């Protein structure tokens, strides 16, 4: 009966790599499939928070860029226009703008749906 070392030596290193990657993939899929609803909801909430935080950074960099182009004027944007430009849903952009409002990086303009971006 062949020993375990002989069997291991018969399989090429490329196949060992394929087996290892397959096992890791199956493990990852299994963990996702059997995780609880609570952990799925928590993971989704964290993903949403990261997305909103990244969007606030994009809005801030957009404001800085526009202020560099037009240093003497105020930058006022519409929620829908900004969402279209950033290719995001309007409700996500409004959430990001409200977060920036708390950080005093934007102000609400007198006209409904418009925001003044601070540099």
**Which alpha helices (DSSP H) does 35-89 contain, by range?**
37-69, 79-86
- Report whether pLDDT(80) > 60: yes
Digit-coded pLDDT (tens) for 6-32: 766 777 778 878 888 999 999 988 887
63, 119 Cβ separation under 8 angstroms: yes
Q: Which domains does the chain have, with CATH numbers?
A: 42-117 (1.10.10.10)
pLDDT of 5: 74
- Report whether pLDDT(4) > 80: no
pTM of model > 0.75: no
Digit-coded pLDDT (tens) for 29-79: 888 788 888 888 998 999 999 999 999 999 999 989 988 998 888 889 999
DSSP secondary structure code for residue 110 in this structure: S
Q: Which residues pair with 115 in a beta bridge?
A: 77, 108
């Amino acid at each position: 009966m062949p020993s375990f070392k002989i069997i291991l030596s018969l399989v090429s290193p490329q196949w060992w790599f394929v087996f290892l990657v397959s096992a890791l993939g199956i493990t990852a899929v299994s963990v996702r499939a059997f995780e609880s609803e609570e952990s799925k909801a928590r993971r989704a909430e964290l993903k949403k928070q990261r997305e909103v935080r990244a969007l606030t950074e994009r809005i801030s960099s957009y404001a800085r860029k526009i202020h560099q182009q037009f240093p003497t004027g105020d930058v006022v944007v519409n929620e829908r226009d900004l969402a279209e430009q950033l290719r995001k849903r309007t409700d996500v952009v409004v959430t990001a703008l409200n977060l920036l409002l708390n950080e005093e990086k934007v102000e609400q303009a007198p006209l409904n749906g418009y925001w003044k971006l601070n540099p």
